[in-house]
Amino acid sequence: MGVMMGPNGQLINTSNMGGGALGSNLIPNITPNIGALSKIDKPVKNDDGTITLPTIELQTNDPGLEAGQLQNLYGTDLMPYYNWVEAKQTGTMTYDPAEELSEINDDFMEKHGITAQEAAAQMEAEMKQAAIKSATMATTYGAGKAAQAYLGDSSIGVGGAALEGMKSLNPFKGIGGSPQVAPQAQYGIVGSDGVGLDRTFTNIQDAKAYTDTFKGTEIKDLGPQKPVQSALQAGKAALQGSKTGFAGFQDRLYGDAAGANLKVTGAAAGIDFITQVAMGADPMDAAKDAGKTAVLSYVANAIIPGSGPIVGFLSKFF
């Protein structure tokens, strides 16, 4: 038997040579599979929202050769390669994304009791609420401390009070601490004229060195250091009031010191409300939450002066 390539790429069986003419028996199924790529339709989006997709399966190809012919042809110029397996389109199918989504929702509803969209909306709302709480935790605490600082020393102004509030954003800093003491001059230098003080020093060694250098001067003891309270500490003292024990608690709750307590908690509640509304919270919900925080802070200040901002901070966790 002989095989040759025909004008159109067919493999032709030339074993039948009758009357000096070449036979023309085509070997079936070879031509379409030599170097031919499967033609598969592309997906088509329909006007109704569905998508027409091709259905595909892998099929084996039969070279259609007689026994013993393949090993003589395969790998030669006549048959350099052969597609033994080929992806072929068997038809089309219609895919409906809406139906798929409906099935997903039904399955999600069966497992969780709500649709996937409702779950996503809940998660978004919870994330938004968490962001609001995180912001108001800091601003409420800072506002309470700023109001306390302004109560202690109004001369620092609103800006100075706000700065004090920002500097104290560590909510547990200084709980129960003693008033800060700034270094003050203990020794003055009286000049040779005996009037006024030429210089002041915080320690005796520096004062003596000065008088040794400048003759005719003498050291004047200015007395012990006096504690200097910060604006926050002065505000805490104002919250404390003049009474102690249970009488002090009553005084801070509804007595003379209650006014100072109300100023601090009121300022914090106002900033709390404004921050929540600015970040998209419902005004009624924001008002309720700020009110709850204010009440807790007010009572906390009555029990332990200065603890209101801390309790307000912690209340945002609940």
Given a cut of 80, is residue 60 above it in pLDDT?
yes
Q: pLDDT (tens digit, 9 = 90+) per residue, 39-58?
A: 788 888 889 888 888 888 88
In angstroms, rounded to a whole number, what is the distance separating the alpha carbons of residues 256 and 239?
A: 10
Instruction: Give the up-direction half-sphere exposure of residue 258: CA atoms within 13 A in the CB hemisphere.
Output: 10
d(CA 192, CA 31): 124
The SS3 call for residue 161 is helix
Cβ neighbours for 276, distance < 8 A, ≥ 6 positions apart: 132, 136, 285, 286, 289, 290
Helix (H, G, I), strand (E, B) or coil at 33: helix
CA distances from 88 to 9, 28, 44, 60 (A): 22, 18, 18, 10
Q: Is residue 258 predicted with pLDDT exceeding 80?
A: yes
Cα distance between residue 310 and residue 169, in whole Å? 10
Is residue 9 predicted with pLDDT exceeding 80? no
Model confidence band, residue 130 (pLDDT cutoffs 50, 70, 90): confident
Joined together, the tokens standing for residue 4 give 């040759």
Q: Which run of H or E residues covers position 138?
A: helix 116-152
∠ Cα 39 41 45 (to 5°): 165
